[in-house]
Structure formats: C-alpha cells, structure tokens
Amino acid sequence: MNLESRHIIVTGAGAGIGLGVARQCVAAGATVTGMDWKTDGKDQLTRLGAHFMQVDVMKPEQFQEAVVTAHDRVGRLDGMVNNAGTTIKRDFLEMSVEDMDMLWEVNQRSVLVGTQAAARLMVGKGGSIVNLASVHATTSNPGHEAYAGTKGAIKAMTRSMAWSLGPRGVRVNTLSPAMTQTEIVIDAMKDPENAETFRSWGADHEVSTVDEIGAAAVFLLSNAASALNGTDLVADRAMTALLWPQLEKAG
C-alpha cells in the first residue's frame, strides 16, 4: 500500500471522509491535491503537506480544468478519489425536483466528470480511480430515496467504466462506507444514547473513523489492489450483513 512518487487528487477533501483519505494518502507517501468548494479545510490540508484547490464540482468545466491544472502542476496524475458528495433526508412525497437535481449534480454527475477528466490524463500511463458510493446503494432508509439512487448509480457507472478504462490501463472501483465518524457524527455521538445506537450497528460495536475509510481508499489506489477493477469495497463493519429492524432508525 505504498503510494510514493504518486500524485492523487481527492475531492471533498476539506473535511470528513475526504480529509481522512487525503491524510492517509499523504501518510502512504503520495503527493496529494485536495479539492473542496469551501476553504474551511485549507489550513488542515496544508498542514498535512497537501496542496489545496478551491473547486466546485457542480461546475463541470471548472472541475475539468482543475484536474488538468493539478496534473500540470505536479507533472503526472496516478490516482483520483471522487469523494465530494452531499445528502438530503426528506419525506419521499415532499422531495422536490430541485432536491433531486442537486443530489444528482453533486453526487453522480461529479463522479462521471471527475473520472472522465482524470482518465483522459491516465490513459497510456496507468492509474486508479476510487468513487465513493455508500451502503445506501443497496440498503437504505425512508427519506433517502434520491440519495440512495445517486449512490446506486455510482456503483453501476463504475462497473461499466471498468471495462471502458481497464483495457487502457486505468482501474476504477467504488468504496462504500456506512456510518463514519465525520464531524457531524462525532458531534451527535456526544449524546451517549446516540453513541450507543451508532455503535450497535457494527458487528464489533465500533463506528469507523475517517482514517479507516481513508486507509481503504489507499488500498484501492495501490498496487496491492491490482486485481480489483469494477468492484465495490464495502466498509460497513458488517452492518448490512444483518437483518435488524433497529437499522430503520438510522439517519
């Protein structure tokens, strides 16, 4: 799982899972370009030794240009982690077209645009792309219909991309986390009842950290995962392996 001499782009890198991915990539020896639409995480990324770029993945042309700029700054691009995403929990009958469009643009279209932009620079040279999906792609809760749809689409697109890009030397896989200790979850876990509920969803009674998800991304980016293409790595501590009515309470 050595990423020395490799350049990795991570979107949504300013916080949460994206920051964990960036941190673990740097720890594995990679040169990291962290992209985020907000500047809140710039200082954290800079302290890690990563290069920060303010990029709005909802603007395809800006996003595509940023990927090329990042490549040109380093002189190469070896990996791309399409992590940027958002969610809305809303009663299905109240979900608006505007809500659906926003989720599609951020979650699904950005993955398509980012993968395409990165792959154009990797063809003939080799590379690995990791697209963040979610356990919501296969098992979800009421109120997350549109979100689950975007994550299911990411898995489907990635399977197809594997055959489009694999013969050209580029691997593409999805990584599907479950409950993870992002800033919002950590804050919610200050309530002992919430903390106990969240932990009960994992077979080992733990909630994944962003660095654990980051380490899984590093694995997929590395030569250790050279046999994996078009697959989905589920990082859920066995949550989705159990039929358990209490999971319906999940946020």
Could you list the active site residues?
147
Contact 20, 208 (CB under 8 A): no
**Count of other CB atoms within 10 angstroms of residue 184:** 12
E strands present in the chain: 7-11, 31-36, 51-54, 79-82, 127-132, 170-177, 232-235
What's at 77, amino acid-wise? L
Rounded CA separation 57/27 (Å) = 26
**165-169, Cβ contacts within 8 angstroms, sequence gap of 24 or more:** 165/119, 165/123, 165/129, 166/229, 166/230, 168/119, 168/122, 168/123, 168/124, 169/122, 169/123, 169/124, 169/125, 169/126, 169/127
Q: Whats the size of the chain, residue-wise? A: 251
DSSP label at 174?
E
- Token couple for 36: 């985020």
Q: Point out which residues pair with 235 in neighbouring strands.
A: 177
